[in-house]
Amino acid sequence: MAQRGAGIGLEVTRTMIRGVLLAHDQPGRVAVAVEVPVARFHDHAVVFDALVRVRGELSMSPLPTRVAWFPTRSTMQRVDATGLTGPELNSMRHELAATAGITSTMLVDAGARRWMLALRWDHSEAWRVQELVERAGFIDVAVEPSPVALERVLAPGTRVARRDASLHRSWTALYDDSVPLAAATVEALARESPGLSIATSSIGLHQLDEILAEPELADEVGSITKLSLPANAIPTELDVHLQLDGDPYPPFPAHDLRAPQRVAVALGAAIGAAGLAGRLRPVDVLTPTQQVGDSAANPWAIERIIEPPLQIAHERPSRWQRQRRRFRRR
């Protein structure tokens, strides 16, 4: 039986899967950390085999699992949803879908405020990842954006974080009061992976007050990141200050699978799975509905059919019945 404080976190990229097992009875809580490469992410069998290997090295016991996922060309931006009722939240989701093409959202509570994270990503690919993780034997699986998972282990006051998860796979996120303000994938160029760079100050957040289009948001987040983070600095495990349920995370060396620059995102996902981050909400997906119009092909038609009047057939009396009637008349 799973207990509070025990859970599994996965960071899934197109070339690497990282996993962390948290145990409530282990010193430092981190029981196992694992990395498994993925050769062909488009191949279901290859990804499934990698996930089975991850589960075999982490734990065979049933534990809740959170998957951090933020593929290329994904963006995220928060919208104030404080005090809105259920119908009003649904109206906001439909408005985002109609005006910005955003069909995935996530609610995050921060004190008395509630934020809706407007998420642009391929939700069908996220469902595929979740299905493969469940088929590999993990239970209670939920997929969430990687910037949301990373926030759970960042030190207070962190405003900018850049994650170089794998080769040619990088994203950056802006934070405000422990809530992601915006996030987008950026060019990796010659960045060393895995890597994590953080900054406690940011410049130029005034242009993020309204929902931006995908290229505009990516350019804005990338510009703020370049101004806030040193371009040529290579952070080490001593520069990345992570926290695990309020306690400082040990600075394991870079070659250790438990190094903070390796397991930061998976560690945040594991904290959510272990129930150490309060109430967690799933990603809500607004599936588009097809509207029937003049250009839609209708495979059926309705035609009114005139029914003929009902005719009651009269049975002809038998020979014996005709003879009896004749004798009665006589």
Q: Is residue 176 part of a domain?
A: yes
How many domains does the chain fold into? Answer: 1
In a domain, 324, yes or no: no
For residue 201, the model assigns a pLDDT of 78
Cis peptide bond N-terminal to 251, omega within 30: no
Q: What is the pLDDT of residue 315?
A: 64
Strand, helix or coil at 108? strand
Single-letter amino acid code for the residue at 19: G
On whether residue 278 sits in a domain, the answer given is yes
Q: How far apart (Å, rounded) are the C-alpha atoms in residues 133 and 266?
A: 14
pTM for this model (two decimals): 0.82
Domain of 189 in residue numbering reads as 7-285
pLDDT in tens, the chain (330 residues): 456 788 999 999 999 999 999 987 666 678 889 999 999 999 999 999 999 999 999 977 789 999 999 999 999 999 999 999 999 999 999 999 999 999 999 999 988 899 999 999 999 999 999 999 999 999 999 999 999 999 999 988 889 999 998 877 889 999 987 789 999 998 877 678 888 989 887 766 656 778 888 899 999 898 888 888 876 666 777 778 898 888 889 888 888 999 999 999 999 999 999 988 878 888 999 875 444 444 444 455 555 556 666 565 566 777 777 777 776 665
Q: What are phi and psi of 235, to 5 degrees?
A: -70, 150
The answer to whether position 322 is within a domain reads no
In 3D space, the residue among 103, 121, 112 whose CA is nearest the CA of residue 80 turns out to be: 112
Question: CA 16 to CA 71: how far, in whole Å?
Answer: 12
**325 within a domain of the structure (yes/no):** no
Paired tokens of 76: 């995220």
pLDDT at 290: 43
Residue 78's beta-bridge partner residues? Answer: 117
Is the alpha carbon torsion for 296, 301, 302, 303 positive or negative? Answer: positive
pLDDT at 289: 45
